[in-house]
Amino acid sequence: MKIKFGSIEETIITRDEFPLSKAREILKQETISVLGYGIQGPGQSLNLRDNGFQVIVGQRKDSSSWDKALKDGWIEGKNLFSLEEASERGTILMYLLSDAGQISFWPTLIKYLIEGKSLYFSHGFGLTFCHQTKIYPSKKIDIFLVAPKGSGTSLRRLFQQGKGINSSYAIYQDYSGNSLEKTLSIGIGIGSGYLFETNFKNEVFSDLVGERGTLMGAIQGIFAAQYQILREKGHSPSESFNETVEELTQSLMPLVSEKGMDWMYANCSTTAQRGALDWWKKFRDATLPIFQELYHEVSSGNEAKRIIKVNSNVDYRKKLQEELQDLRQSELWKVGSIIRNLRPEEKKDKNL
């Protein structure tokens, strides 16, 4: 359907006009091969399996992800195979390895991308920055994308709750003439709440900016700054964390999700309303130059070049664990761990 967002008309696909039964019918002759069982692989493959599609998983043996796939009910030799065998068996290859993993496995995968097969992504990185990734697909295959707007964990959790996470979709190459139907079928099959149209370049640009910005990077920076100021001014750890993180995640953001920021403002105290309305533009003006710099670094390819170089270092995972440990051991998140365990639902679960 076409929906106007202000003056801009967009194509939106919901489960009403594209039901699951239609998706199953379109893909009934396809073997969907999910390559990679790390971040997006588990959620997408399990949701497709539970929705009645023919799905197999490809993963490197003797890895923690292989062990996780076994625990999730995938059976070696039946629907769990090596990356190579799954690539050969599948007709739609869902390339869900990490960006670094995609670069590494590409010289092997390309041998299996024969005419008539389809290549699926959940991120536009590999093709948008092909000059750096060296991912150059055949012209005789369909290539498309469905990108859930959230983690694989959230995709699976919401699916199990009977809900859905929104996803973008894009067609990169329509060799068969049927790419759109296949794309939307998988989008519905993985449990998308609704699907909105984009292209590979826009998907990766918005995704990289979002991850580094309000979704992860900026929000951690703001958390750390506010917590530090409160602690320096004599506020206790629990008070500082509650006023910085807990109230936002447990109380206010659910209200924003439900009704919008204006509704949340309208349902706070007049003191909170006035302060928020007076101060939000200051934060916008202070951070706008950082976002301008960030978008330039992403769109120019500089960020992709840096990521590929860093992620390719042999000691990357060791250094990553050290960085995450530093974050985990910061007072902010040590306090957070204690406070999460004090939530009534956490105590209830432990007493079951």
Check residue 346 and give its pLDDT.
66
Residue with tokens 């923690």: 64
Structure tokens at 3: 């929906």
Check residue 1 and give its pLDDT.
85
Check residue 344 and give its pLDDT.
85
Check residue 62 and give its pLDDT.
86
For strands 142-148 and 32-35, give the pairing: unpaired
Structure tokens at 188: 């519905």
Length of the chain, in residues: 352
Structure tokens at 216: 């992860």
Check residue 350 and give its pLDDT.
61
Q: What is the pLDDT of residues 202-226, one digit of tens each?
A: 999 999 999 999 999 999 999 999 9
DSSP, collapsed to helix, strand or coil, labels residue 93 as strand
Per the annotation, binding residues for Mg(2+) are 207, 211, 243, 247
Structure tokens at 317: 């995972």
Task: Provide the b/e sequence for 307-318 (b: ≥16 CB within 10 Å).
Answer: bbeeeeeeeeee
User: Alpha helices, DSSP H only, in the chain?
Assistant: 20-26, 41-50, 64-71, 83-89, 99-109, 125-128, 130-133, 152-160, 179-189, 200-212, 217-232, 237-241, 247, 253-259, 261-266, 270-299, 302-311, 316-328, 331-342, 344-351
The answer to whether 264 and 280 have CB atoms below 8 angstroms apart is no
Residue 280 one-letter amino acid: W
Which of the 8 DSSP states describes residue 246?
Answer: I
Q: Please give the model's pTM, rounded to 2 decimal places.
A: 0.92
Residue 304 one-letter amino acid: A
Residue 279 one-letter amino acid: W
Check residue 351 and give its pLDDT.
59
Per the annotation, binding residues are 207, 211, 243, 247, 269
Q: Which residues are known catalytic residues?
A: 123
Across the beta sheet with 118-121, the strand order is: 2-5, 8-14, 192-197, 165-173, 142-148, 118-121, 92-95, 32-35, 55-58, 80-81
Alpha-carbon span 195 to 10, nearest angstrom: 11
The low-confidence residues of the chain, meaning pLDDT below 70, are 346-352
CB atoms within 10 A of CB 216: 11
Task: Provide the b/e sequence for 169-192 (b: ≥16 CB within 10 Å).
Answer: bbbbbebeeebebbbbbbbbbbbb
Mind listing the domains of the chain with CATH numbers?
Answer: 2-199 (3.40.50.720), 211-342 (1.10.1040.10)
Query: In the chain, what is the straight-line distance between the N-terminal and C-terminal CA atoms, in Å?
Result: 46
Q: What is the pLDDT of residues 32-46, one digit of tens each?
A: 999 999 999 999 999
* Short-list 201, 199, 121, CA closest to 109: 121
Which of the 8 DSSP states describes residue 76?
Answer: B
Per the annotation, binding residues for substrate are 269
